[in-house]
Structure 1
């Protein structure tokens, strides 16, 4: 399945996940810290929680889709690194109080939605 077909066929739950990822990358780009401790801790948490999630969601006798497994490790990595990067930066819940990162996150989500709608239009044509 090509990328246009994939993005055109996204259903709302997966489209929301893509928007989450776009938001994550936009905010991380604004608050990036190259400290190895942040990223190694995030990798460690990702490994521990990812394995636990595979145990918790796996069905005996059925193979789990590789992309599903990847997401089960990616989510804890993103949550851990995001929370570390925004600590003490004046966020309200998950949202920055500064205009630049807030606009970047919103634009990233809007861009993801735009990609989806463009791909849907191209598939129909």
Structure 2
């Protein structure tokens, strides 16, 4: 179906390992919540950026210390800063909105997020199937 894959994005997606698929699923969940509960408060986003910088630096220092001479690629470093941004902004967006852990109070929103994740995983499965047959 996706034989040669001239698009670098499709090649990237086809080669995702399980941990990165999980990270993409987290990002999809975040995106659904972000779209439903967006808050234009400048302070919310500045605080999230500030926390991202502080915690991202700590994660980077910790990771570099653990890896020794091994290098972290650019995307890995980006994720070390992105994750605390997403966590802090997610927490601020859902505060006082009756979430149960990370789950919105609405069944519709939960099903939408799960449906988006399922569609993403199905798409990845189709990409990989094309690799085997192509």
TM-score (norm 1): 0.92
Cα distance in 1 for residues equivalent to 2:111 and 2:41:
25
Cα distance in 1 for residues equivalent to 2:84 and 2:123:
26
Q: Match of 2:82, SS? A: helix
Offset of residue 13 of structure 1: 1.2
Partner of 2:31: 25
Gaps of 5+ in 1: none
Cα distance in 2 for residues equivalent to 1:92 and 1:6:
34
Partner of 2:76: 68
User: Are 1:123 and 2:120 an aligned pair?
Assistant: no
Gaps of 5+ in 2: 1-6
C-alpha contact (below 8 Å) 1:50/1:76 kept by paired residues: yes
- Selected match of 1:86 from 80, 94, 97: 94
Cα distance in 1 for residues equivalent to 2:18 and 2:71:
25
What's the RMSD between the two structures over aligned residues?
Answer: 1.5
C-alpha contact (below 8 Å) 1:32/1:85 kept by paired residues: yes
C-alpha contact (below 8 Å) 1:7/1:115 kept by paired residues: no
Q: How does 1:89-100 map to 2 (within 5 A)?
A: 89-100=97-108
User: Are 1:13 and 2:19 an aligned pair?
Assistant: yes
Offset of residue 116 of structure 1: 0.9
Partner of 2:45: 39
Q: Match of 2:33, SS? A: helix
Offset of residue 8 of structure 1: 1.4
Q: Which has the greater radius of gyration?
A: 2
- Selected match of 2:119 from 88, 111, 114: 111
